[in-house]
Amino acid sequence: MTTKKVFVVVDDVDMTNNLGALQLPIHKHVTNVDCKNKVLVNCRNWQELKNHAKESAKVDVALLEEEQARELFMFHAFKHANHVTNDFKNIYTEIIKACGGLPLSLEILGCYLCDIHDLEIWKDALRKLKAGRNITGGYDNELLWKTLKFSYDHLNKEHQDMFLDIAC
């Protein structure tokens, strides 16, 4: 009999019964340092996991600090530029603030704006980011919703249709 080491990642768990359906003994893997198998579970609400894992296994991931957020955005937005003009400084500062330290937002906006030298497109991206609304009305996912909405809006019609087909 051979044994294998397993690393399982479960992303965006929103209901306890989702974990039960997987039939993973999560408490064993996340609390036992000697165990060769590891399970990483990502969720927005600790209440969903607290019956499956000890408090000591919990890791809160913080949003990026201002300097880290600036570095991440600049890396993605200006990776091909030798220097950044002052015209863009105010707008990229506002975009970074609007992303609120959320790495996904910073990466998506940075990649979208990379190699675009038209300041009006940058301003339009900022307006659209600020105008994004969470469909559930709650604040907890507002930054993520704005980012995803921005990304979806910038897909061409064919890709939007494919995305909706897959999502449904």
pLDDT at 17 (0 to 100): 64
Question: H or E stretch including 4?
Answer: none
pLDDT at 20 (0 to 100): 65
- CA separation for the pair 96, 66 (Å, rounded): 8
Amino acid at the residue 132: G
pLDDT at 134 (0 to 100): 47
- What's the pTM? 0.57
pLDDT at 56 (0 to 100): 77
Q: Which two tokens stand for residue 39?
A: 């399970």
* pLDDT tens per residue across all 168 residues of the chain: 567 777 777 766 666 666 666 655 554 544 444 567 777 777 767 776 777 777 777 777 778 899 999 999 999 998 867 667 788 888 999 999 988 888 888 888 898 888 888 999 999 888 888 876 544 444 445 656 666 777 777 778 888 887 777 666
Exposed e or buried b per residue across 43-65, where buried means at least 16 C-beta atoms within 10 angstroms of its C-beta: beeeebbeebbeeebeeeeeebe
* Structural domains of the chain, ranges and CATH numbers in brackets: 7-57 (no CATH), 66-167 (1.10.8)
